[in-house]
Amino acid sequence: MNILIIGNGIAGSTAAREIRRRSDHDITMVSSESVYPFSRTALMYIYMGHLPFENTKLEADDYWEKQRIRLVKGEVQSVDFAHKRVHLVNRESLSYDKLILATGSVPQTFDWNGLDLDGVQGLYHLDDLTRLETASQRGITRAVIVGGGLIGIELAEMLHSRTIDVTMLVRENSFSNTVLPPEESEMVNAEIRRHHIDLRLETELKEITGENGRVSGVVLTTGEHITCNFVGITAGVRPNVDLLRSTGLAVRQGILIDAFGQITIEDVYAIGDCAELTVATPGRKTIEAVWYTARNMGETVARNICGQSTPYEQGVWFNSAKFFTIEYQVYGSVPVSFGSGVTSLFWQHQDQKKSIRLVYDANGKILGFNLMGIRYRQEVCTKWIEAKTHIEVVLEQLELANFDAEFSECHENELRKIYHQITGKNIHKKAERSLSSVVKFLTSWS
């Protein structure tokens, strides 16, 4: 069987590796970005000098040849589903028996004037990093970042590492407050300002100005003009499906897929950021453009192509990020506001760089964990959520989740004290922090 994969991000490359692990099928992976798959989440570390590009590759270069996975660098011009062929811009044509669309996402832009000026860009692909390095070498004196998402704060940290003055324009009244509860959102505000970033909340871009084809500044909706010679557009992403809209494919925001990753055309699958579930798990989105989702989709489609019928399960939500020096993890359901039978137990360190939030319902069932500056074990938190464990049992065993217990200060007793203040109940520790205790706990659930 001849399998063709369009896109070599974490979704496409995971599918290729997992198909090879399970079969002897012919596999070809096409990408217009790079020959060898690499980690896009590491772009910032290349720019900051923490990692060379070679160290961001997912595998050694010879891995793909040894695994008999053909890599093609080329841009797709069209897809002929009727004849099972993909045509590249260089006029090469590739046939397939099974096709996996893993085209990822592209920057979300609006109708701002000046987007085509030199010095205006996003940070989503390897070419963006090259353009950013070129602009930096030429001399960025002041940068304006439009958008308050994870890519925006990464770009702010990157530019700050080279002592470039940065202004961030965030239209919401607090950073990432559509994802983070108020206390955590304010922690990120403080962290951004602590690094001398000019954070402008409730501020929107009107247009980008330029001179001689290069950016010279931005105008805000208030009429204020900010002089700058670099503008980072980080106002979110959308599925990269424009090329496919005229092919008869069922496309809403993304490519519509069923529970097995298949689309409405036979022998074609879609995975990762470009894929949209026809039906999502209650409380979850139909498009989840995160690394972990893309990897899981790649694994699931590989099983299905190799004859192991496996529906894709969204499972317990998980994501992680870094806001300058504050690491962030979320497991399960953590709303931005509480009510209607859902409450939370929240503790925050006095330095405003660490916090723990446990979310539970009116019956005490644990729903989610939100962590800032503290690491909890994914396996442990996921087990509690899946088992609908009572908040008091979780509090008794909370040390089991603490990933850094042997190397840093622990704060589980602070949560127990807060719970006592709220309910009048004393919760005592019943679990040890040792790795053997964690293993024993996880084994007991299997």
pLDDT at site 441: 75
Same domain, 326 and 301: no
Same domain, 93 and 207: no
CATH code of the domain containing 72: 3.50.50.60
Residue type, 83: H
User: Residues 115, 210: contact at Cβ < 8 Å?
Assistant: no
pLDDT at site 308: 95
Instruction: Supply the Cα-derived Rg of the chain in whole angstroms.
Output: 24
Whether 115 is in a domain gets the answer no
Same domain, 277 and 348: no
Helices 291-305 and 10-22: crossing angle in degrees, nearest 10, is 30
pLDDT at site 248: 78
Residue located via tokens 């670099």: 230
Query: Following DSSP, what letter does each residue of 263-331 receive, concatenated?
Result: -SSTTEEE-GGGEEESSPPTTS-S---SHHHHHHHHHHHHHHHTT--------S-EEEEEETTEEEEEE
Last residue of a domain, one of 210, 235, 260: 235
pLDDT at site 122: 93
Whether 346 is in a domain gets the answer yes
Q: Quote the pTM value.
A: 0.92
Q: What is the chain's pLDDT, residue by residue, as a tens digit (446 residues)?
A: 999 999 999 999 999 999 999 999 999 999 999 999 999 889 999 999 999 999 999 999 999 999 999 999 999 999 999 999 999 999 999 999 999 999 999 988 888 999 999 999 999 999 999 999 999 999 999 999 999 889 999 999 999 999 999 999 999 999 999 999 999 999 999 999 999 999 999 999 999 999 999 999 999 999 999 999 999 999 989 999 998 888 878 899 999 999 999 998 999 999 999 999 998 988 899 999 999 999 999 999 999 999 999 999 999 999 999 999 999 999 999 999 988 899 999 999 998 899 999 999 999 999 999 999 999 999 999 999 999 999 999 999 999 999 875 567 788 999 999 999 999 999 988 877 777 777 777 777 66
Whether 313 is in a domain gets the answer no
Last residue of a domain, one of 235, 261, 296: 235
Same domain, 333 and 436: yes
10 Å Cβ neighbour count for 243? Answer: 16
Whether 111 is in a domain gets the answer no
Same domain, 440 and 323: yes
User: Residues 87, 49: contact at Cβ < 8 Å?
Assistant: no
Same domain, 143 and 80: no
Q: Of 20, 254, 2, 40, nearest to 127 (Cα)?
A: 40
Same domain, 327 and 440: yes
DSSP 210: E
- What is the separation, in whole angstroms, between the first and last Cα of the chain? 36
Whether 7 is in a domain gets the answer yes
User: Residues 370, 181: contact at Cβ < 8 Å?
Assistant: yes
**Separation in Å, CA 200 to CA 111, 169, 296:** 21, 5, 37
**Separation in Å, CA 60 to CA 52, 54, 106, 147:** 14, 9, 27, 35
DSSP 31: E
Dihedrals phi, psi of 63, to nearest 5 degrees:
-55, -45
Same domain, 416 and 329: yes
Same domain, 331 and 415: yes
Residue 426: exposure state from Cβ atoms within 10 A (0-12, 13-18, ≥19): exposed
86, containing H or E segment: strand 85-88
Question: 160 CB contacts (<8 Å, ≥6 apart)?
Answer: 166, 195, 196, 197
pLDDT at site 373: 94
d(CA 168, CA 320): 22
CATH code of the domain containing 427: 3.30.390.30
Whether 38 is in a domain gets the answer yes
Domain that holds residue 289: 2-106+238-305
Same domain, 181 and 258: no
pLDDT at site 110: 87
Same domain, 74 and 131: no
Q: Of 159, 233, 236, nearest to 198 (Cα)?
A: 159
User: Residues 314, 288: contact at Cβ < 8 Å?
Assistant: yes
Same domain, 42 and 146: no
Last residue of a domain, one of 235, 268, 292: 235
Query: Following DSSP, what letter does each residue of 117-170 receive, concatenated?
Result: SBTEE-SSSHHHHHHHHHHHHH---EEEEE--SHHHHHHHHHHHTTT-EEEEEE
**In total, how many domains does the chain have?**
3
Phi-psi category of residue 271: left, alpha or beta, with phi > 0 → left and psi -120 to 50 → alpha: beta
Whether 54 is in a domain gets the answer yes
Whether 311 is in a domain gets the answer no
